[in-house]
A and B are shown apart, each in its own frame.
Chain A
């Protein structure tokens, strides 16, 4: 799925990182625990989370995650958005809950991508 499609599926708003919008995404991960994200996330992954601090962008940067979706309408602060823009990471915000947003993307064809099926 392209990030553009993810945006449409989740009726999401793009807050930063427009440059990344046509990148292909193969996997998704829904978690508020960056510790967990760091143990299994692969490249070409979209990260869905309710956490809006700078460590989320940092984690995405180090893992080459090219899109972050903040759930339940959460919006990070401007400095975090700037951080994402500087790193070409797309930031989306959706009204859906983490569970629903993950469900919609699963239906759209994305999978967890981890060996054990977690994600």
Chain B
């Protein structure tokens, strides 16, 4: 079980850059609150800032930023709350979005463009068009999703630092 961190604050231990066999590793994690539309996007925005400082090229940066934002919005709109985590080594960027529920009943359906279970409130804000998961997949070099109703959803997004 990972420790709880206060909202939007970057975990202290995660901030520490660790030297290992693969080079410098940066980790950041963010708590994402359910239904908090004011803060929605702050994690993605910070991820983009960090990666920009690392000198990640513009097109990769865009792909990561889009995936991060979509994943964060999914947590805000659909989950009871969760975490978004990003780590970088010399070969890749990995993001993990994890929540504690409610879980996705039918992943195949959820991956379909246009399929959405988002409430009208989300639609009024310009979201919930059923494009999120497929858009995340499109942006990533590797994408994995697993979910269990009543337990939660786990999203893993990989981005290669070498050319696609």
Contacts and interface: CB of A to CB of B under 8 A. Distances in A.
Contact of A53 (B70, B125, B131, B138): B125
A33 B41 contact: no
Contacts of B62: 43, 63-64
Interface of B: 37-38, 40-41, 44-45, 48, 58, 62, 65-66, 68-70, 125-132, 135, 138
Given A58-B41, A58-B45, A61-B45, A35 B129 contact: yes
Q: Is the interface of B mostly helix, strand, loop or mixed?
A: helix
A35 B37 contact: no
A35 B69 contact: no
B38 A38 contact: no
A55 B128 CA distance: 13
Contacts of B37: 53-55
Interface residues of A, number: 21
B131 A39 contact: yes
A77 to B, nearest CB: 12
A25 interface: no
A32 B40 contact: no
A78 to B, nearest CB: 14
Contacts of B138: 39
Given A39-B135, A62-B69, 4 more contacts: A33-B126, A34-B127, A39-B138, A51-B126
A5 interface: no
A35 B58 CA distance: 21
Interface string A43-82: 1000001010111101101111000000000000000000
